[in-house]
Amino acid sequence: MYNYCYTKDMEQHASALRAYFAKLHLRPEIADMYIALRKHGPQTMSELARHSKVERVQIYRLLDELKASGLIEVEVRYKRNILRAAPIANIQLLILKKEQELKDLQRDFTLLSTRLDETALHSATTRVQFYEGIDGLKQMLWGQTKGKSENLGILYNMMQDDVDLAFFERWVRQCNERNITFRGVVGDRFSTTLQQLPSGYADEHLNHWQSHCVPEHVFPIAHSTVTYDDTVLHYSWNDGRIFGIEIHNPDIARVQRQLFELLWKQTEPTS
């Protein structure tokens, strides 16, 4: 009876921790690894994979994210890494970081809004549309299929993470039927998401897609920007909230296109 109650309590604690980690937008695997490290102490990759039920390859892929979370510490020893759980109080650091990100995003939005208002005064052709949520994301993405020029993206995240497979397949087919070309400068998060893409999404792909990768320390990408025709799209993910800004203005689009080309020339093709 004692063992049963103890196990039940442990399961409840683990469930609560996973739920809290999800609110912090930490992957479930990170919660499982943290729980295993708290329960069994410092471990090698192999030991952690066994205790957490997370594949060893997945742990390697998440290593940078694990370090960045501040919840798991990595000690490099000869030919192997030892992982240990950091104090649970480190979650407070993550909360403070998210609070700062929200303040920065609000500040940037205020500046962007002011600049757009100023631009609108000098250009009768300016039109700005705001979108929010998954449905808004789909509207913006579908608008790209109607463009006539090349799509140029500075990409933070893969939109496949947020839309359903049926929409994604329809969107890809429409882009391919219209022979739309895409070039993207992608960051570390995009590359990580691509590696972890569910198998169903691999059946559909853009026929005309090229990408270059820029390391986080060289040019950090905090949100996605796509330029086509005289349109600039800004997609943003923050604390589970998705919203976008669609700007129709030839001058803004031209400047954004120039920024993209500068980044493209200074980065290398993805492998």
Are the C-beta atoms of 187 and 222 separated by less than 8 Å? no
Q: How confident is the model at residue 144 (pLDDT cuts 50, 70, 90)?
A: very high
- Is 81 or 40 the better-scoring residue by pLDDT? 40
Q: What is the model's pTM?
A: 0.52
Higher pLDDT, 51 or 100: 51
List residues bridging with 211 in a β-sheet: 184
Per-residue model confidence (pLDDT) at position 259: 92
Band (pLDDT 50/70/90 cuts) for residue 2 is very low
- The whole-number pLDDT of residue 4 equals 41
Q: What is the pLDDT of residue 5?
A: 45
Query: Which structure tokens are listed for 267?
Result: 């980065």
User: Average pLDDT in the 142-169 region?
Assistant: 85
Per residue in 171-223, pLDDT (tens digit) is 999 999 999 999 999 887 776 666 555 555 554 688 999 999 888 888 888 88
Instruction: Give the pLDDT mean for 33-60.
Output: 88
* Overall average pLDDT of the 95-110 stretch: 80
Distance, CA of 192 to CA of 209 (rounded, Å): 18
CATH 1.10.10.10 positions along the chain are 2-86
Number of neighbours of residue 50 by Cβ within 10 angstroms: 14
CATH class held by domain 100-269: alpha beta
Under DSSP, is residue 216 helix (H, G, I), strand (E, B) or coil? coil
Residue of 239 and 79 predicted with greater confidence: 79
| Residue 11: CB atoms within 10 Å | 10
CATH of 2-86, one of 1.10.10.10, 1.10.357.10, 3.20.20.450, 3.90.76.10: 1.10.10.10
Residues of the chain with CATH 3.30.870.10: 100-269
Of residues 128 and 9, which shows the higher confidence score?
128
pLDDT at 6: 41
Average confidence score pLDDT of the chain: 81
Average pLDDT over residues 226-247: 85
Spatial distance between the Cα atoms of 252 and 125, rounded to a whole number of angstroms: 11
Q: Structure tokens of 81?
A: 């890494």
Q: How far is CA 37 from the centre of its chain?
A: 26
pLDDT at 261 exceeding the cut of 90 = yes
